[in-house]
Amino acid sequence: RDSGQSAAALCTSSHLGCDVLERRILLTSSPSDFVFSQGTITGYTGSGGDVSIPATIVGFGGGITLDTAKAIANLLTNPGSAADYQGWDLVKNPAVHKIGVPTISGTGAEATRTCVMTNKATGLKLGMNSDFTVFNHLVLDPDLTATVPRDQYFFTGMDAYIHCIEALAGSYRNAVGDAYSHETINLCQKVFLGDDMMSDQSREDLMVASYLGGSAIATSYVGVVHPFSAGLSVVLGIHHCVANCITMRAMKEFYPEAFDEFWTAVDRQRVVVPEGVARGLTDDQYKSLYDSTVVHSKPLTNALGEDYKKTLTFDKVVELFKMM
């Protein structure tokens, strides 16, 4: 769900009349070049020939699909492109009604007030952070996660855990966010340190953890992990939740207890986390990784203070990436 990337994962629905209950909207024939804009996704014709926007948008899938659904719902009622709304409280008009149906647990996209996209022109990975971005209704059914591949289940589920270890270590923490975060971590410990992380009970627990984890960061910010993860995604094209887990290789300095617990879970679940992905890169690639990381001022300020660039110098950032 990028301001200049694919939306092919999304299936949206539109109630246009009594004889047309659902319409699947083909967003683009060239997914890699797709740019969200109001002009691209409005102007649907109803059964009577009237031009209409959908009555509701349904996002059915993982975090990318859910975020895409939220972005489209915003852009149906707000002019311009998605890139115009990357930031905080830039969306001015209420979005189209939207329903989220997650089929994998962890990202918290079903709960957050953002929809994260990458602007390929600028390299900025940032969401539409707005109260209008929140889903109106959700369907949380752990049976939908029963066939998720095991490693993907782990990587994505750990996004919930990482959200909350970052929130609890930050300066923007608060009582509500703390409550959500502590319960999310408790559930993740139960799932990932247990015997069967994909049992019926574990999948139910992880779906709850995902929602609570998303609710936690909706009241606060993430920390060091997510900006570095964003760098891996923007520069090297690594999927977000995998990038989070790779980033954890370099996080002992910042989150020592969570670092040990995370790698205990990796060993217990026999998951293979990619290694060495940011070694031996070009100078230009390291410069891009640095820029794509330190641009995330809010989470890094949350974690390290307003002078975070004094800690995260260029050499320090490169050193950390080489540990991954």
Q: Is residue 99 within 8 Å of residue 57, measured between CB atoms?
A: yes
d(CA 237, CA 169): 28
Q: Give CATH superfamily name and number for 148-322.
A: Dehydroquinate synthase-like - alpha domain (1.20.1090.10)
Nearest alpha-carbon partner for 160 in 294, 305, 262, 297: 262
Residues 239-249, buried b or exposed e (16+ Cβ, 10 A)? bbbbbbbbbbb
Please state which CATH number belongs to domain 31-139. 3.40.50.1970
Averages of pLDDT over runs of 10 residues in the chain (324 residues) are 36 33 43 42 45 83 92 90 91 96 98 89 84 98 98 99 99 98 99 98 99 96 98 96 99 99 99 98 98 96 98 99 99
Residue 141: exposure state from Cβ atoms within 10 A (0-12, 13-18, ≥19): middle
Q: What's the one-letter identity of residue 162? A: I
The number of residues making up the chain comes to 324
**pTM given for the model:** 0.86
CA distance 220 to 301: 12
Please give the pLDDT value at position 121.
80
Could you tell me if 58 and 12 are in contact, meaning their C-beta atoms sit under 8 angstroms apart? yes
The two tokens of residue 251 are: 């996080």
Going from N- to C-terminal start, the domains of the chain cover 31-139, 148-322
Place of tokens 């209950």: 21
pLDDT of residue 52: 67
Q: How confident is the model at residue 24, as a pLDDT?
A: 53
Structure token pair of residue 127: 């969401």
Distance set, CA 78 to CA 37, 96, 132 (Å):
9, 10, 11
- Between CA 92 and CA 89 the distance in angstroms is 8
**Burial of residue 279 (number of CB atoms within 10 Å: 0-12, 13-18, 19+):** exposed
Residue for token digits 């954890």? 248
